[in-house]
């Protein structure tokens, strides 16, 4: 996956936009996304005078080969930066009508004092006119942007927006076109028969897949036949184990009282109903189930994997622990690891869904139920290395 980031800030005054971009690029890198930044200040794009620009052509060729586009810029008086405005003027030609066709776009605007929302609205209209989707917006003033690296809450907001943008691209999410004609349609005097906007509506009219088939196509939760057999064998094993322990416990109780039958057992001896066997309670808390992950570890699938997976659980149950995987062995410890390869943060209820196999860890991230930092590949490996607990 490749993202093109078009930076429209002036080189000498970016109002803190550079700090925002660093967080965006770091977050995407952790998710395994390649990002190419194009700085308009160094692109040699001249003021638009009706002629094609080599600089604009180079940018658009890069955009065509990308999966998504990020537009970052500064703003004064509610207007996009001059560099971004000049670039967009070059795109206001028929030749670029489909420049952003079907691409999800993220827009980031940092204003000197205020007006960033006005600039975001302006850019959103341009994105729509060029056939793209105004997917994610981030707008803030220079004071907020300058403090984003020191304010953990502000940094997390930016990271969450980037994660949302990643999900939209990964899921190839589409949106309804905005109402009304685009700037190109106005120039032409109406929608042409081969207009990309009409093609979009035609796509919307096509029969949709049933939910079950759509989930299979996404391939987020699909188990292999071997995994299904493993889970079935695991369930039967514990059923036999707890049944045997219950019988042994009942026998021990009888011996404890010197062979004297208790009232319920006397009832059985007289032909009464047999009491239900006493079954040992299985671990139910999120902390207990997380601690038992090594019991569900599949070492045959861990060849060559040496990693530390940090798990931070919040909500009703709050605790931290980490899993160490080395030489096809797995160990769980309470606390925080010094240098984890990946950190998973989740509410206890959502983490239980992952442990029980209701969602894979990968899908839980895709639908925003868990947060991930570090080597994103290990999140997919987690689903393979550990069997579901129920």
199 CB-contact burial (10 Å; exposed 0-12 / middle 13-18 / buried 19+) = middle
Residue 359 has pLDDT above 50, yes or no: yes
Other beta carbons less than 10 A from residue 349's beta carbon: 13
Residues 317, 346: contact at Cβ < 8 Å? no
pLDDT mean over 262-268: 40
Residue 98 has pLDDT above 70, yes or no: yes
- Which pLDDT score, from 0 to 100, does residue 41 have? 87
- Which pLDDT score, from 0 to 100, does residue 240 have? 60
- Which pLDDT score, from 0 to 100, does residue 99 have? 78
pLDDT mean over 56-81: 90
Of 76-80, 264-268, 301-305, 377-381, the range with the lowest mean pLDDT is 264-268
Residue 71 has pLDDT above 60, yes or no: yes
- The ranges assigned to domains in the chain are 2-175, 286-385
Other beta carbons less than 10 A from residue 373's beta carbon: 17
Q: What is the pLDDT of residues 158-194, one digit of tens each?
A: 999 999 999 888 888 877 765 433 444 433 333 344 4
- Rounded percentage of the chain residues whose pLDDT exceeds 90: 35
- Which pLDDT score, from 0 to 100, does residue 293 have? 92
The Cα-based distances of 27 to 20, 314, 320, 330, 376 in angstroms read: 11, 22, 22, 28, 10
Residues 364, 221: contact at Cβ < 8 Å? no
Q: What is the pLDDT of residues 16-55, one digit of tens each?
A: 999 999 999 999 988 888 999 999 988 777 787 777 778 8
Residue 13 has pLDDT above 50, yes or no: yes
Mean pLDDT of the chain: 78
Higher-pLDDT residue of 244 and 343 is: 343
Residues 6 or more apart whose Cβ sits within 8 Å of residue 50? none
Residues 45, 82: contact at Cβ < 8 Å? no
pTM, two decimal places: 0.58
Tell me how far apart the alpha carbons of residues 130 and 296 are, in angstroms, rounded to a whole number.
51
Strand 370-374 to 2-7 pairing: unpaired
Other beta carbons less than 10 A from residue 252's beta carbon: 9
* Matching CATH number, 286-385, of 3.40.50.970, 3.40.30.10, 3.30.1050.10, 3.40.50.2300: 3.30.1050.10
Strand 68-76 to 104-111 pairing: parallel
Higher-pLDDT residue of 218 and 115 is: 115
* 309 backbone φψ class: left, alpha, beta (φ>0; ψ -120 to 50): beta
pLDDT interval class at 279 (50, 70, 90)? very low
Of 185-189, 341-345, 359-363, the range with the lowest mean pLDDT is 185-189
Residue 285 has pLDDT above 60, yes or no: yes
Higher-pLDDT residue of 13 and 67 is: 67
Fold of the domain built from segment(s) 2-175: Rossmann fold (3.40.50)
pLDDT mean over 281-306: 85
Q: What is the pLDDT of residues 363-382, one digit of tens each?
A: 889 888 899 998 888 888 89
pLDDT mean over 121-150: 90
Residue 330 has pLDDT above 90, yes or no: yes
pLDDT interval class at 267 (50, 70, 90)? very low
């Amino acid at each position: 996956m490749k993202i093109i980031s078009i930076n429209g800030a002036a080189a000498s005054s970016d109002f803190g936009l550079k700090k925002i971009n660093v967080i965006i690029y770091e977050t995407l890198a952790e998710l395994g996304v390649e990002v190419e930044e194009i700085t308009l200040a160094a692109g040699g794009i001249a003021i638009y005078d009706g002629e094609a620009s080599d600089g604009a052509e180079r940018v658009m060729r890069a955009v065509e080969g990308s999966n998504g586009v990020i537009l970052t810029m500064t703003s004064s008086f509610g207007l996009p930066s001059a560099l971004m405005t000049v670039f967009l003027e070059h795109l206001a030609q028929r030749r670029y009508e489909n420049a952003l066709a079907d691409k999800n776009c993220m827009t980031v605007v940092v204003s000197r004092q205020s007006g960033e929302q006005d600039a975001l609205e302006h850019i959103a209209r341009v994105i729509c006119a060029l056939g793209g989707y105004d997917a994610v917006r981030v707008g803030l003033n220079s004071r907020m942007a300058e403090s984003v690296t020191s304010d953990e809450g502000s940094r997390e907001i930016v990271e969450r927006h980037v994660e949302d943008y990643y999900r939209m691209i990964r899921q190839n999410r589409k949106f309804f076109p905005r109402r009304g004609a685009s700037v190109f349609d106005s120039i032409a005097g109406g929608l042409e028969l081969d207009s990309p906007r009409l093609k979009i509506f035609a796509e919307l009219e096509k029969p949709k897949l049933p939910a079950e088939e759509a989930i299979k196509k996404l391939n987020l939760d699909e188990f292999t036949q071997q995994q299904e057999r493993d889970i079935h064998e695991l369930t039967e094993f514990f059923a036999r184990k707890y049944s045997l322990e219950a019988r042994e416990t009942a026998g021990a109780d009888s011996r404890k009282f010197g062979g004297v039958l208790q009232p319920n057992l006397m009832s059985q001896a007289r032909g009464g109903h047999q009491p239900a066997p006493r079954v040992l309670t299985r671990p139910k808390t999120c902390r207990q189930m997380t601690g038992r992950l090594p019991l569900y570890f599949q070492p045959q699938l861990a060849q060559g994997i040496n990693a530390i997976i940090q798990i931070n659980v919040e909500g009703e149950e709050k605790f931290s622990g980490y899993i160490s995987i080395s030489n096809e062995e797995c160990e769980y410890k309470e606390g925080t690891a010094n240098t984890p390869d990946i950190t998973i943060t989740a509410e206890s209820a959502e983490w239980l869904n992952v442990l029980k196999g209701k969602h894979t860890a990968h899908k839980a991230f895709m639908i925003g139920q868990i947060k991930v930092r570090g080597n994103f590949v290990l999140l997919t490996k987690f689903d393979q290395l550990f069997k579901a607990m129920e």
